[in-house]
Structure 1
Amino acid sequence: MEDSQIQSFYKSRNVFITGGTGFIGKVLIEKLLRSTEVSTIYLLVREKKGRTVDERVDKMFDDVIFNVLKKECPKYKHRIDVISGDCTMPDLGLCMQDKQTLMSKIDIVFHIAANVRFNECLKLAYMINVNGTKEILKLARQMTNLKSLIYVSTAYANCPYNEIEEKVYNSIRYDYVETLIEKMGDEEDVVLTSRILENHPNTYTFTKSLAESLIKDTGGGLPIGIFRPSIVISTYKEPLAGWIDNLYGPSGMIAAAFLGVVRVIFCDRENIPDLVPVDSCVAGLIATAWDISTNESLTETSNHLPVYNYVSSVENPITWDEFVELNMISLKSFPSSNSLWDTFVIMTPNVYWNRVLQIFYHTLPGLLIDFVAILSGKKPRMMRLYKTTKKSSDAISYFATRSWKFSNDNIRNLWQKMNRTDQKLFPLSITTVHWLIYFRSYLRGIRLYLLREPEDTLEAARRRYVRMRRCNTALKWFLIYIIYEFALKLLSYFHSYMF
């Protein structure tokens, strides 16, 4: 079998990663340590909630996602070097010694750090997503051994366009936005943000678009590329199936439906939720860095900027209807121990019909459950929970009711460029994902890793699920009987009245 070109590229290299403690970052670190012979991975980490950077990284490695690594490569820790810093600060908040280390040793950079909250205030989103990128570029120009720099954007950075190619689109000038932000107070931020965003649905996609424009304008001469994943969800196979650590996007929606809390989803069932497993995405990210290093058009005077749309809708699409249906099939095998009632989902793209259904299936049951809780001396929580889920639903409704036509020629060309060994080690092609197999572990992963329901509770949960389904069926037939009897009496009344 051929030698791996990608492994040869990473062998004895030093890698710098921002956003390493996040969802994609964890899987990237694990894959690099387990499947390549990188010399050292330098992680930029900031202190948070009273924890030092070393404490945060130690906590990160306690995650089950690293269990396979610990068995296969037990001496991995000597290849990790934690650097204290912050993407919101000038020079990334680096001390002079750490800055000198990065400038002299780093070969490959993955800039993943970002504020991913859709409704973040514009100032903070800009500070992290745009200014942080500016500081990375400034540092990269001083790296004497830099072979590749990958900026992780999002496929929806240019969502106002219906068709999204692998190029940077012209948007409002990032420096103009920066000038506006510097003059705005906190109250003005709230008032003026919607005007500044123009056609963007939130500050996340807007600032990601600005960061791409910044790279296009100031990244000339650097071996740099933009990697745009769509909606990143749990792992497909590596290092374990179904792992996920956040409730963002469709996963949060499915988790709420899984618990019987959410019954109504505002989406168009025929549209395509562009989903990509995180391990497939990371395989693409790793291969992209190698591809950039071999790109002869990226010279010191070149302004060429490769863009990689990492999406599923082009080669392996799945509709919202299929997404929900496959999860409902898996529900029979992996029900929750804490579901409130039998699970079902109604999908509608009509904003008015959605509001009506929300009242009958969310608001009224929530008020009833809270009323019973108050009578029982317990704290009411359902309406507060529904407010949270509605906020999340509103945030993703823009994406759930629309579809985009993406191109992904650079990703497909990269897959063809890889030899068979690399294709096996780094299966980035979305055509290798079998959705039926994937969704067998997706719901199990939500149950195990997000809802913290152990495997040993599964049998009891299945028995409970069967009982709840029977009760739900009995209730439906009872309601049908009541309606039927009421209709008969109504007809009898009208018959006697008229005759």
Structure 2
Amino acid sequence: MITTEEMLQGTEVTGTPIQEFYHGSTILITGGTGFMGKVLLQKLLRTCPGINTVYLLIRSKKGKDVEKRMDEIFEDVVFSKLKEEVPKFRHKVFAVSGDCSLPKLGLSAADRQMLSSEVDIVFHGAATVRFDEKIQVAVAINVSGTKNILELARSMPKLKAIAHISTAFCHCPRKDIDEKFYNTPISYHKIMDLVESCSDKTLEEITPSLLGDYPNTYVFTKALAEEVVQEECQGLPLTVFRPAIVVGTRNDPVQGWIDNLYGPTGVMVGAGVGLLKTLNCNEKCIANIVPVDMAVNALIASVWDIACNNNNNNNKNNNKGDKTTVPIYNYVSSCDQPLSWGEFMNLAMTHGMAIPTIRSIWYYSFRLTKNRLLYLVQVLFLHFLPALLVDTVIVLARGKPKMLKVVKKVHRFSDVIAYFSLRDWDFTNKNLHALWDRLSDEDRSLYDFDMRTLNWDEFFYGYLRGVRVHLMKDDLSTVPQAKIRWRRLYWLHQGVKLVLALLALQLLRPVLSYIAMHIFT
């Protein structure tokens, strides 16, 4: 294994098989400014000192050019360990202005020629992850973007490997999901034609019929993107990596790092601050979550695998027109370390209540409800009516109401994730296990992705602290103050319950008196 110290000293050493594979490589990453992309970037630069260059495909956003956006991502704490171990890494990283949703990736002729001639490894992770994204936007980024990347990859004479980052749930209408391609109910060609020929209003109207059994545009377009990969894979050293629900880091480079409120993390935060009281969820179903650092390790290894162990056979078969030889890796927890949603929330509650946040607005009171009707009743009484009451008080005090708006947003978010919290899937991950078996002992240590060794209790200890510190920006030094606040909120919570119970008793007194009179007389 090549260490950072040896690299800085210029010592001639032999690295692990994965380090040797990446040595001298020029890498293109799309989605490098995203959650998983940041962890991938720092891991490659930190553990593979022989990497020559990394190009990040970045689009201008909110008036910021690509250089400014790239500089900003390196301010994140997730790069702190990289800065300590490899302080001169910046000369290896370059921003390239582009947009996956545009024809030819929106690249200038010079940049396209440069990438084509220099790049030998591609990580395609750019995607819109909004579940409720408009169909035309999701198709442009997730489907057309994938097609555009493969078109560029085909022009790279030095190409050793390309990884398409998909999702384990891209075929979620199925119960069983193996590590293979599946047909989509409608071809990506037809969807792209519709997007080009129909107005935005028409597309909005027909989106439900286009989705069919798919719950949202995200998983639907990710399934179509896999169809693009399947159709365009001939002759390319290509792999598909399907992570499940990606959450905070286990321990690398820092414990519990996370930078977004997506999925179950948003549920934890909402419940932790006292805003979210109920969720439409089956507590017995499996929460297929995976730590982002372990997922990235598996991704890095899968690229090594396709180039060093599968490449020759794949190219031989692909040239014969066989579209089923692309290695697909399902990176899920259900196969090796299953965790139910009930266990998820119990662990979150246990570790969260030990370090309550100073930002709490109410005491923790949360429940998982499988029955849809009962859930809607709870939403009415536990979310909307209290929010309406608070907004009424704010209006009377001549303030601007906001709680009802917040609750509506939380409710939309809850509805989006309900599909995944009420179902179970039968995944297989034999390819992933075979990949693990092919790793050397040194690479297993450096790129550990074996879910069988993960201790959920230890993970949640760091996960909840990471959410508090990195996401909520609430340092652990405020815990004593937050506990005092929580005790006050607890007694206020109990007081409100007592008042409501007495009020309910008063309202029911005539009914109870009538029943008692007829029973005992």
With the shorter chain as reference, the TM-score category is over 0.9
Q: Does 1:260 align with 2:274?
A: yes
- SS of the residue corresponding to residue 295 of structure 2 reads helix
Say which SS state the counterpart of residue 299 (structure 1) adopts. helix
Structure 2 unaligned regions, length at least 5: 2-13
Are 1:447 and 2:468 counterparts? yes
Shift of 1:455: 2.7
The one-letter code sitting in structure 2 at the alignment partner of 1:82 is A
Paired AA for residue 235 in structure 2? G
The yes-or-no answer on 1:392 pairing with 2:409 is: no
What percent identity do the matched residue pairs reach? Answer: 41
Unaligned runs of 5+ residues in structure 1 are: none
Whether the 8 Å contact between 2:355 and 2:476 is mirrored in structure 1 is no
Task: Give 3-state SS (helix, strand or coil) of 2:314's partner.
Answer: coil
State the one-letter code of the partner of 1:157.
C
1:271 equivalent in alignment to 2:285: yes
CA contact (8 A) 1:222 1:300 kept: no
372, 376, 379: which one aligns with 2:400? 379
Q: What is the root-mean-square deviation of aligned Cα atoms in Å? A: 1.9
Task: State the match for 1:347 in structure 2.
Answer: 368
Q: CA 1:368 to 1:35, structure 2 compared with 1: closer, same or farther past 3 Å?
A: same
1:220-263 deviation digits (Å, cap 9, x = unpaired): 11000100001001111010111111111111111111111110
Give CA deviations for 1:262-287 in whole Å, capped at 9, x if unaligned: 10111100001100010001001100
The C-alpha deviation readout for 1:268-324, integer Å capped at 9, x for no partner, is 000011000100010011000000002131215523211110100000010000000
Partner of 2:85 in structure 1?
Answer: 72
Aligned residue number for residue 436 of structure 1: 457
Q: Which amino acid aligns with 1:322?
A: E
Q: CA deviation at 1:471?
A: 3.7
Q: Distance in 2 between matches of 1:419 and 1:462?
A: 47
Aligned to 1:463: 484
1:331 paired residue number: 352
Q: What is the rounded CA distance, in whole Å, between the counterparts of 1:68 and 1:467 in structure 2?
A: 39
The answer for the alignment partner of 2:4 in structure 1 is none
2:59–2:66 contact (8 Å) kept in structure 1? yes
Report what 1:91 is aligned to: 104
Deviation at 1:493, TM superposition (A): 7.6
Q: 1:10 aligns with which of 22, 33, 39?
A: 22
Could you tell me how far 1:492 is from its partner in structure 2?
6.9
| Cα separation, 2, equivalents of 1:35 and 1:268 | 40
User: Could you report, residue by residue, the CA deviation over 1:377-419 in whole angstroms, capped at 9, with x for unpaired residues?
Assistant: 2211110001101111111111111110100111111111111
Task: Say whether the 8 Å CA contact 1:335–1:461 is kept in structure 2.
Answer: yes
Distance 1:494 1:423, change over 3 A: closer
Q: How many residues align?
A: 499
Partner of 1:146: 159
- What's the TM-score, normalizing by structure 2? 0.92
Q: CA deviation at 1:491?
A: 6.2
Map of 2:306 onto structure 1: 292
Q: Is the alpha carbon distance of 1:391 and 1:494 closer, same or farther for their aligned partners in structure 2, counting shifts above 3 Å?
A: closer
Residue 205 of structure 2 corresponds to residue 160 of structure 1:
no
CA distance in 2, matches of 1:485, 1:192: 51
Output the amino acid matched with 2:291.
P
In the aligned structure 2, how far is the partner of 1:352 from the partner of 1:125? 32
State how 1:170-189 maps to structure 2 within 5 Å.
Answer: 170-171=183-184, 172-189=186-203
Shifted more, 18-27 versus 4-13: the winner is 4-13
Say if 2:34 is the partner of 1:28: no
**What residue is the counterpart of 1:232 in the other structure?**
246
Counterpart Cα distance in 1 of 2:228 and 2:407:
39
AA at the equivalent of 1:421 = E
Whole-angstrom CA distance in 1 between matches of 2:172 and 2:517: 63
- What secondary structure does 1:297 align onto? helix
CA shift in 2, pair 1:89/1:413, >3 Å: same
Q: 1:49 offset after TM fit, Å?
A: 0.4
Tell whether the 8 Å contact from 1:226 to 1:308 is kept in structure 2 after alignment.
Answer: yes
1:220–1:300 contact (8 Å) kept in structure 2: no
**Cα 1:217/1:483, change in 2 over 3 Å:** closer
TM-score (norm 1): 0.96
Q: CA offsets per residue over residues 319-352 of structure 1, 9 Å max, x none?
A: 0000000011012222111212110211112111
Would you say the 8 A contact 2:179–2:429 is kept in 1? yes
Measure the CA separation in 2 of the matches of 1:492 and 1:45. Answer: 71
Confirm whether residue 320 of structure 1 aligns to residue 333 of structure 2: no
Q: 2:54 is paired with a residue of what secondary structure?
A: strand
> Which of residues 218, 224, 231 in structure 2 aligns to 1:204?
218
CA distance in 2, matches of 1:479, 1:394: 28
Aligned to 2:70: 57
